[in-house]
Structure 1
């Protein structure tokens, strides 16, 4: 241990106190030993340090910081250098705000398009997500602070995220849901990992010794700190045994006492606590920010970097008749509420208070675009308004080109909630349909952080997808439209034709006890390619204002080389992608998988030779019989493409295997071997996971407990609890009716899906677990006994707090 001498000077109480927060955002300090607090702040795409009241839902304003494009956006750049540079600027701002641990990046897989937090994650592909995350981490930690990669692991839905049990087979867990974390740990060297709220195959993630010890610590050699998501501790002692050092936020000492009692009873060896303390001390002392470090940065310079990131990440999806870039002298009508009030970031714990915010209408003043006016065209939150449509059409008649800004609003994509559909609001489609009748030259600029259906796409000539471009996104978009910047972004996720085509359609979200990942390894393009399912836009797709030619592929044992030529008349950047597919049929596989990529800048007419090297991930698969990574001896197809569906070059390579036994009985897994795993039977899924899947529905005959949700009060024996439930549902309905959708969402995010234990874990000690026992008595039909129990435990807690408060004064007097 690095800090053995210091730990030897601590009392048991002091050691235990370090294992949970001092308040909402800081760790505990021990003044007598010179151990300072450190500050943790939200910040996947910008620093969210709150100056006043702290919360984890983005309700209260934070100190101004640069709002960079979200991870879902930057992933479309496929530029590792850009990711690292953004990390450096995030780290600089974190230091300026005295932040020791920046809670990001988020790298959960985009299993389903409706996950409400997809805007905060990179990709449906673990290799791309892991490589981008590693860049962010290196950049952030170059300033001597810590990144915190999250949410570990298999956190792929927001509904019931604090209590859902994710049922997934081991191979899929390793290959799809943990590979990005593995890259972030091994290559990014992240100092901190945040555990997720959910259970994984029956165990809370932060209590899972398989996840936390066997994989994270033993296999990946992670020696940093694991912190819970806020309020994400279920059994504090079980979490500590698994190696979860830090619980956030504070529980006012309640869980410290649990740790002390566990050590005194012998349930935990004090040496195990010492190891956790040692790792936490290392984080504290290696991220300590000296008071003389700069507390200012160039706001303008950081804004320019945010613009650069947006310019490289914007994706051109359609360009019929080369309507873009806009021709000099063309007149344009700017239509859509998002043009005047840009949708540039997500909602929830990642919301950033921007230092500057560019506006599209103002950006036109410095361009060659001749704007003849602006009309909002639609109500932002979905209400129909025929007058606005009529005014927009009158304007559109007068223009050469209509620039139509569509997308999803802030309350549709938010932490704590999943989207209800994959469509954009109907009132926006009504506007588009009307505009088509008066002007055929429509370019849609789309603003949203996740996949949407586009049954309307044949009605537009141009489609520019900005995703969520951050505070400088408006200017970046204008520069794309005018041709000042040649678009180079490509999609980091697949766009299906309709939601029903997605492989997890039948198993998302888990509504009650569990969610079954029956599609196994077949998520995103792995499914669509293998099942030959038609898609709207494939993974890796994006257009340019120039053309690129691929030639001269050569495959070697450790690499592939080829030539890339810009055959157009303007300079541009091309993202070349390496896909590898095993040609053997002995083990079920996706048709091909991304195993490398590079972004290449080429002048008009220029040719470059490109090399993509193979690594230890290129040919591996996880064998559930040997319980380790193996290589199947076989011929492998080596493909170079402009997207997963646009393969330009192919070669083959015979790869020597590790000689492992075949992991599956092919006859028992016909759907998986056929590659069409979108609606797998329960029997076949149980053959895959190797055991009987747990019952996915609530047992309504049982009394409600700590890990049941407040939503389950609808089944409670206590009339007061049922009344409270119906009152909550009514309040949610009423707030939506009167247009208070953000407030209505807060009910769902912070109350409806919260397990009862969250009431104690998230209130900073105002309600403790003994008081929660009384609340559960009320819920389960023993109103008076429960009410008295709450009052008794509250009184007891207040007395203990008073005694603790007077103890320091008593010590000083002696």
Structure 2
């Protein structure tokens, strides 16, 4: 499937060459133009269906671009300690490739114990090189949730129990990854502080605890790290699922912190079409469907941001400015990663990485 879109990309390059003589190159294909101008140009050319289709998966770890316009798909991979072995297109089995080995880096809890920002930068750069070599556009890490119990099954992949330490170490990690034209995806936003009952547990806390303990690392990731994507958490916060949460996403993340990237669900963390559309979710991944299999009664179009989202827009229940803003964020991520022609080639399992 990926080869199909590689071909699409080559056609897009051919299109540039053909039209250059006529000075009619679409702005969105010209990576010498400011990225916001490219986004504006692409949005003018896209149909409503193409805009909404940007916002949900087409495979287990891929979301679509706009093939008609030569805008490529996004490929994501689990982190944050190594680039996950290739998963099958439409199920959770491993593809069994013999060419996708990766360096297994120490867990982030070990990185946190080093108190070493230089090492964090080297770590991020190295794992970003491996993701780039594997042609991944988004690396799902680092994790910066705060340890609240030793029984949390994900403690090993977070940067410790101190908000200041996690903030100081995640910033160079993110910058190191993104030097490779690969987006870091800081997770799990927010308050995913235990794995037990994570899909429905409802976290109640004071504003002071939220601001002083649980959000500083995420804020540093956005304001100082310049992170390009953030992963929404499974749990509820004050009665609403975090992945489409007005306070967390609209008011704080995109409002106060001026985050210009994408909010991506953890796999299967979306629960409502209207909330997902209106409260800041940009890309929905991993919702519980059977995907593209021919016997499927429940496929990717049945995601919350799938056909129901499109219909709600057509019915006037969701404004077009919401659609355009969401599509712009996905396009910005694609232009920073998959359509970035300045990114290096990357490397994998090198002596330096070991």
TM class, shorter-length: 0.7 to 0.9
The yes-or-no answer on 1:302 pairing with 2:302 is: no
> Closer, same or farther in 2 for the Cα pair 1:296/1:242, shift >3 Å?
same
The answer on whether the counterparts of 1:95 and 1:294 sit within 8 Å (CA) in structure 2 is yes
What's the secondary structure of 1:40's corresponding residue?
Answer: strand
Q: Does 1:276 align with 2:323?
A: no
Please, which of 245, 261, 267 is the counterpart of residue 282 of structure 2?
A: 245
Tell me if structure 2 keeps the 8 A contact 1:237–1:258: no
Q: CA deviation at 1:49?
A: 3.7
- Give yes or no for the alignment of 1:41 onto 2:80: no
Give SS of 1:253's match.
helix
Deviation for aligned residue 1:11: 1.6
Kept in 2, the 8 Å contact 1:54–1:60? The answer is no
For 1:275 and 1:112, how far apart are their aligned partners in 2?
38
Partner SS for 1:106: coil
CA contact (8 A) 2:102 2:348 kept: no
Which residue does 1:20 correspond to in 2?
56
Quick one: distance in 2 between partners of 1:275 and 1:20? 15
Cα RMSD after superposing both structures: 2.0
What do the CA deviations read for 1:727-773 (whole angstroms, capped 9, x no partner)? xxxxxxxxxxxxxxxxxxxxxxxxxxxxxxxxxxxxxxxxxxxxxxx
1:97 pairs, out of 128, 134, 138, with: 134
Alpha-carbon distance in structure 2 between the residues aligned to 1:7 and 1:292: 24
User: Which structure's residues are more often strand, by fraction?
Assistant: 1
Rounded Cα–Cα distance in structure 2 between residues aligned with 1:7 and 1:83: 37
- After superposition, the C-alpha distances for 1:697-751 in whole angstroms (9 at most, x for unaligned) are xxxxxxxxxxxxxxxxxxxxxxxxxxxxxxxxxxxxxxxxxxxxxxxxxxxxxxx
* Mapped partners of 2:343, 2:207: distance in 1: 49
Using the alignment, how far apart are the partners of 1:52 and 1:296 within structure 2?
A: 23
- Separation (CA, whole Å) in 2 of partners of 1:93 and 1:278: 28
- Match in the other structure for 2:161: 124
Alpha carbons of 1:199 and 1:136: their partners in 2 closer, same or farther (altered >3 Å)?
A: same
- Counterpart selection for 2:269 from 193, 215, 232: 232
1:11 is matched with which residue? 47
Superposition TM-score, scaled by structure 1 size:
0.36
Provide Cα deviations, 1:107-126, integer angstroms capped at 9, x if missing partner: 10001111111111111111
* Bigger relative contact order, structure 1 or 2 (CA pairs below 8 A, ≥6 apart): 2
CA distance in 1, matches of 2:91, 2:176: 27
**1:137 maps to which residue?**
174
Greater percentage in helix: 2
Paired with 1:139 and 1:153, the residues of 2 have a C-alpha distance of 23
Distance 1:167 1:87 in 2: 33
1:70-114 per-residue CA deviation (whole Å, 9 max, x = no partner) reads 001111100001001100001111110001100000010001111
Residue 299 of structure 1 deviates from its aligned partner by: 2.1
* Structure 1 position 53, deviation (Å): 5.9
CA distance in 2, matches of 1:230, 1:223: 22
SS at match of 1:299: coil
| Cα distance, 1:163 vs structure 2 | 1.3
Deviations 1:288-313 (A, max 9, x none): 2659953644622211xxxxxxxxxx
Give the CA deviation at 1:34.
Answer: 1.1
- Does the C-alpha gap of structure 1 residues 174 and 295 become closer, same or farther in structure 2, counting only changes over 3 Å? closer
Name the larger-Rg structure: 1
Change (3 A) 1:292 1:130: closer
| 2:336 corresponds to | 286
Distance 1:52 1:260, change over 3 A: closer
Q: How many residues align?
A: 302
2:135 partner SS: coil
Matched, 1:75 2:112: yes
Judge conservation of contact 2:232–2:243 (CA < 8 Å) in 1.
Answer: yes
| Mapped contact 1:22–1:29 kept (Cα < 8 A) | no
Give the C-alpha shift of residue 61 in structure 1.
6.1
| TM superposition shift of 1:52 | 4.0
From the superposition, tell whether residues 226 and 131 of structure 1 become closer, same or farther in structure 2 (CA, over 3 Å): same
* Cα 1:295–1:91 shift into 2, 3 Å: closer
Give distance in 1, aligned partners of 2:269 and 2:42.
29
TM-score normalised by the chain length of structure 2: 0.81
Q: 1:184 to 1:61 in 2, by over 3 A?
A: farther
Residue 172 of structure 1: CA displacement?
A: 0.6
What are structure 2's unaligned runs of at least 5 residues? 1-35, 292-298
Instruction: Determine if contact 1:107/1:150 at 8 Å carries over to the other structure.
Output: yes
